[in-house]
């Protein structure tokens, strides 16, 4: 048979049964009418996750409304990076956003195109935007499509062009007119509440975003509702802003044409990294961060001429890296992980570029600063000493955890994990840490087994404040929890994106919550700093009448439900997760899950906080509790 015979209309199929329609088949179920072509804006509105990740309500930094803001800001920051406009103004009032930059302004004849025609933009030409942040041809169109109202106005050389949209359809287009304002672009948008339901912009998330912009672009000023954000020292300011313990030696700050790094060590467990590409915060790292971690270890080993373990070199490290890559390739639409292997087309590889820079600059720095190299050596030797002291315990504990995990009744695992074998990440994965068999059983019956795992604690865990890492391996609960999370070697192996503490809303539940947070703060602070630890909110009350049921998470919600329910509603006070049926729990751990993120800031004074709340000053705490006691009525 000749190759073309396979496609002959006269050729008989090898098995006639394969061509026989199903008995109940309906040929009209799939016809020309089923083939649709969506307008660009309709495609974005139907599939927003393809363009901005998850929607959310603004309670988390990765929620969609912040991605919309970021897409507009990226364009303004690109102008600054190209040497145009040192000021960006941001105003957010009642959910409406205004961004005004003082760059060159969009060419007036293309204002409509860049805001409403897909694959239209100035960043395809690498000469104009060699190392841009914004999304080529898509970003601002996604903002337009997902906003109920969108306005864009360009001022350029004494003229202006203004266009307004309602849900990406032009509602008002003004002709080019004289302008007395400086060059630049004004963008206003209101995220569509049909898509982003009950959203609210949170200042803490916006301010973190803006701080990162100025840290990555020293000299840029951003005004947010009148508050000024500015950085003189770039990444050094970023580390000083985020470190929660004092550095052991002055920050090592190194700069090159397309790279900037800052390194220090602190007296803390774990590794803490902040990585950026073209100003984009790559929260999930990528090729540049992997290269950075590899070559830091190599250079330090060579400098001291010692065969140190990489884990000892990086224990307690706090570092940041920023590189500029031409035509970067990211592994997701929201650009949280760099996939590029090369700095530019036909240019040096990312790994080699980062490695060569570190080898030259860090080695030179350590030779010139004996005080820093001595302090760094002491830290490495201390880490090595502790590791060797618990080496025997560690080996036995790992073997015990490995065996236990084969038949681990404490862990009901999920099928998909945050880091799969291909190195990609699934953000929807989570693990619930519960107290007792009753609560874990209810959540296990209600969970999504593909993405949600459950780990069951036995009673109250140990208070680990002031203890060494030896306890992680000697204590069975913590040893098995560590093994389940797979965080011994850092966050690269973390199996779940969200680690959710799911305890009862009573005194014992709160105590267990504090003990777990203390454990993470003591031994795995990067888990918290990497925004992976959350508290599950569960309803305190259920109010229902014959027509409807309300689940209330606060006294205010309870009163509102009582008002809506009318006369003689049934009121239930939930005192534990075990009291809530699996069918009801399914409502609280699904798409409408309520989570409080556990965060760390420099002003939190973690060491002092742990010493006060978890230390041995029992009488001082008792006085504090009595002075701040609030008596709760039994409302049920």
- The CA distance from 146 to 64, in Å, is 10
- The CA distance from 138 to 121, in Å, is 8
The dihedral built from the CA positions of residue 220, 225, 228 and 229, taken in this order, carries a sign that is negative
| C-beta separation of 328 from 282 below 8 A | no
What is the model's pTM? Answer: 0.78
Place of tokens 């600054």: 80
**Which residues, including other chains, have CB under 8 Å from residue 297's CB and lie 6 or more apart?**
308, 310, 313, 314
What is the DSSP code string of 455-504? EEE-SSPP--TT--THHHHHSHHHHHHHHHHT-TT-GGG-S-SEEEEE--
Residue 254: what pLDDT? Answer: 96
Which of 63-77, 309-323, 441-455, 601-615 has the least mean pLDDT? 601-615
| C-beta separation of 526 from 490 below 8 A | yes
Could you tell me which of 267, 149, 278 has the C-alpha nearest to residue 212? 278
- The CA distance from 607 to 408, in Å, is 34
Strand boundaries in 447-513, DSSP class E: 452-457, 498-502
- The CA distance from 116 to 118, in Å, is 6
Ordered strands of the 317-323 beta sheet: 252-255, 259-265, 317-323, 272-277, 280-281
DSSP 3-state assignment of 74?
Answer: helix
Of the pLDDT bands very low, low, confident and very high (cuts 50, 70, 90), residue 3 is very low
Could you tell me which of 383, 386, 405, 397 has the C-alpha nearest to residue 474? 397
- The CA distance from 385 to 390, in Å, is 9
Residue 50: what pLDDT? Answer: 77
Residue 137: what pLDDT? Answer: 46
pLDDT at 7 over 50: no
**Which residues, including other chains, have CB under 8 Å from residue 455's CB and lie 6 or more apart?**
410, 411, 412, 431, 432, 433, 434, 440, 480, 481, 484
Q: Which domains does the chain have, with CATH numbers?
A: 49-230 (3.30.565.10), 235-389 (3.30.230.10), 410-538+591-627 (3.40.50.670)
| C-beta separation of 315 from 271 below 8 A | yes
Name the average pLDDT for the chain: 83
Place of tokens 């999920």: 414
Place of tokens 């700093």: 529
- Convert the pLDDT of each residue in 502-526 to its tens digit: 998 788 888 899 999 999 988 898 8
- Planar angle of CA 269, 275, 276, nearest 5 degrees: 165
Read off φ and ψ for residue 318, nearest 5 degrees.
-130, 120
Of the pLDDT bands very low, low, confident and very high (cuts 50, 70, 90), residue 580 is confident
Mean pLDDT on 309-331: 89
- The CA distance from 257 to 21, in Å, is 65
DSSP 3-state assignment of 132?
Answer: coil
Place of tokens 């303004």: 76
Of the pLDDT bands very low, low, confident and very high (cuts 50, 70, 90), residue 116 is confident
Mean pLDDT on 13-32: 51
What is the DSSP code string of 578-617? GGS-HHHHHHHSSTT--EEE----GGG-HHHHHHHHHSS-
pLDDT at 225 over 60: yes
Could you tell me which of 128, 123, 139 has the C-alpha nearest to residue 82? 128
- Convert the pLDDT of each residue in 27-58 to its tens digit: 555 555 555 556 767 778 877 777 777 788 88
């Amino acid at each position: 048979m000749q190759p073309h015979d396979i496609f002959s209309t006269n050729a008989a199929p090898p098995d006639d049964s394969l061509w026989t329609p199903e008995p109940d088949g309906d040929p009209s179920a799939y016809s020309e009418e089923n083939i649709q072509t969506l307008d660009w804006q309709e495609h974005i509105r139907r599939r927003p996750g393809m363009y901005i990740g998850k929607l959310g309500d603004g309670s988390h930094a990765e929620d969609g409304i912040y991605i919309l803001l970021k897409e507009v800001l990226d364009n303004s920051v690109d102008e600054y990076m190209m040497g145009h406009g040192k000021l960006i103004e941001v105003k957010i009032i009642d959910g409406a956003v205004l961004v005004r930059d003082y760059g060159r302004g969009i060419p007036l004849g293309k204002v409509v195109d860049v805001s409403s025609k897909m694959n239209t933009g100035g960043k395809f030409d690498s000469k104009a935007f060699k190392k841009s942040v914004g999304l080529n041809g898509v970003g601002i169109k996604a903002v337009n499509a997902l906003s109920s109202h969108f306005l864009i106005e360009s001022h350029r050389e004494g003229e202006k062009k203004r266009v307004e949209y309602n849900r990406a359809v032009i509602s008002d287009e003004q002709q080019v007119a004289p302008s007395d304002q400086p060059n630049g672009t004004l963008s206003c948008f209101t995220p569509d509440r049909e898509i982003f339901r009950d959203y609210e912009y949170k200042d803490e998330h916006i301010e973190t975003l803006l701080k990162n912009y100025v840290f990555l672009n020293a000299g840029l000023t951003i005004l947010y509702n009148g508050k000024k954000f500015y950085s003189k020292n770039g990444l050094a300011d970023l580390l000083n802003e985020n470190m929660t313990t004092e550095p052991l030696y002055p920050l090592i700050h190194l700069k090159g044409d397309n790279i900037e790094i800052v390194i220090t060590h602190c007296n803390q467990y774990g590794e803490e990294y902040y990585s950026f590409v073209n100003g984009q915060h790559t929260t999930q790292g990528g090729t540049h961060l992997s290269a950075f971690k590899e070559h830091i270890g190599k250079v330090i080993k060579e400098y001291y001429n010692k065969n140190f373990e990489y884990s000892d070199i990086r224990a307690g490290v706090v570092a940041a890296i920023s590189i500029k890559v031409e035509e970067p390739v990211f592994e997701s639409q929201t650009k949280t992980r760099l996939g590029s292997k090369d700095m530019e087309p036909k240019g040096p590889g990312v790994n080699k570029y980062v490695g060569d820079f570190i080898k030259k600059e860090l080695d030179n720095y350590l030779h010139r600063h004996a005080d820093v190299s001595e302090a760094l050596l002491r830290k490495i030797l201390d880490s090595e000493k502790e590791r060797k002291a618990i080496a025997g315990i560690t080996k036995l504990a790992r073997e015990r955890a490995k065996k236990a995990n084969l038949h681990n009744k404490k862990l009901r695992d999920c099928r998909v994990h945050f880091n799969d074998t291909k190195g990609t990440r699934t953000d929807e994965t989570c693990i619930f840490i519960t107290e007792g068999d009753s609560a874990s059983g209810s959540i296990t019956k209600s969970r999504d087994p593909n993405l949600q795992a459950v780990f069951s604690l036995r009673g109250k865990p140990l208070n680990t404040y002031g203890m060494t890492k030896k306890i992680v391996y000697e204590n069975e609960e913590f040893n098995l929890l560590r093994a389940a999370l797979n965080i011994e070697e850092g966050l690269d192996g973390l199996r779940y994106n969200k680690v959710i503490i799911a305890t009862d809303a009573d005194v014992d539940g709160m105590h267990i919550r504090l003990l777990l947070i203390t454990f993470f703060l003591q031994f795995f602070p990067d888990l918290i700093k990497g925004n992976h630890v959350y508290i599950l909110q569960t309803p305190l009350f259920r109010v229902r009448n014959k027509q409807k049921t309300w689940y209330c998470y606060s006294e205010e919600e309870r009163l509102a439900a009582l008002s809506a329910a009318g006369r003689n509603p049934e009121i239930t006070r939930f005192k534990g997760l075990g009291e809530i049926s699996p069918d009801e729990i399914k409502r609280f751990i699904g798409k409408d899950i309520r989570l409080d993120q556990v965060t760390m800031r420099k002003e939190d004074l973690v060491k002092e906080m742990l010493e006060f709340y978890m230390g041995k000053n029992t009488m001082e705490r008792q006085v504090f509790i009595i002075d701040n006691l609030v008596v709760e009525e039994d409302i049920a």
